Structure 1
């Protein structure tokens, strides 16, 4: 199911906004499977530092990743929400990203996305009033 739609004034898509520390991020809603509260995680030995553990979501083992560690944020608190998504739109593989807070779904016009900013996993930057929203491409984040 694609959330991208062609309109007479260009292409629009829906994104889910969330915060990690002081930064606001968004991800295309087409990747999102569900949003759940952080529950008890089971740590897995010998996994990369950014893997906080696994949890059972409706009978499926779901890997939970701390994006703060991937993006180099020094804050050590774990978020209270988990955004569960499919890494690829048609994939059954589920992964959860810890988030401090999950905000609403917003429609974004692609002409408003600045793609000149480069960074691993960052597809672009959206300027909204007095803040920037970093657009994360989950297929481009090494986890």
Structure 2
């Protein structure tokens, strides 16, 4: 591989934080994550949407805690103290996503990511709701090489965090208009 090819791989790569969410492995862009913290006492907020567990004090700042499984229709237990605190400039307050376990920080080449029309064959509510940027095929081999066996390729939902938070906000606005 020459230097020009190396630049292309870095340019096309997705850099993500991977985490367990119920029975699924999901990821969000590493640039969207401020920190990973353990949950403290969460105070429920009256009339908040189901996805909003409540708020907690994080370093003197009120942080809304969101359970993204509500919008992704993901099953499984979420008994966890892990919170991914988001770093989004437009947010009026900090937002944290409750996740089961943060597993790794990874980079993926373009050939490992299914997007757009290639997602139509995967039927999940997250894809249908357009809350997913793509599906990462972890362990997929580059074009021109022999395909990895299906049991060696793990699918990771690459979430569009902006659309997910917009969905929570839309749900909150709908709840408050009663």
Q: TM-score of the superposition, structure 2-length normalised?
A: 0.69
The answer to whether 1:137 aligns with 2:138 is no
Q: 1:50 to 1:76 in 2, by over 3 A?
A: farther
Structure 1 unmatched ranges of 5 or more = 1-5
1:64-143 equivalent positions in 2, closer than 5 A: 64-75=65-76, 77-86=78-87, 88=88, 90-91=89-90, 93-115=93-115, 116-117=118-119, 118-120=127-129, 121-128=131-138, 129-141=152-164, 142-143=167-168
Q: Which has the higher helix share?
A: 2
Quick one: distance in 1 between partners of 2:78 and 2:15? 28
Q: Cα RMSD between the aligned structures?
A: 1.9
Give me the whole-angstrom Cα distance separating, in 1, the residues matched to 2:78 and 2:106: 27
Equivalents in 1 of 2:75, 2:156: separation in Å? 19
| TM-score normalised by L of structure 1 | 0.85
Whole-angstrom CA distance in 1 between matches of 2:77 and 2:16: 26
Q: How many residues end up aligned between the 2 structures?
A: 136
Which runs of 5 or more residues in structure 2 are unaligned?
1-5, 120-126, 139-151, 169-178
Q: Identify, as 1 or 2, the structure richer in strand.
A: 1
Matched residue of 1:98: which SS? strand
Provide, for residues 90-138 of structure 1, a one-character-per-residue CA deviation record: whole Å limited to 9, x for no partner.
3354210000000111011133210132333111101123321000010
Larger Rg: 2
Change (3 A) 1:48 1:75: same
How far apart in 2 are the matches of 1:73 and 1:8?
34
Partner of 1:20: 21
Structure 2: distance between partners of 1:119 and 1:30: 25
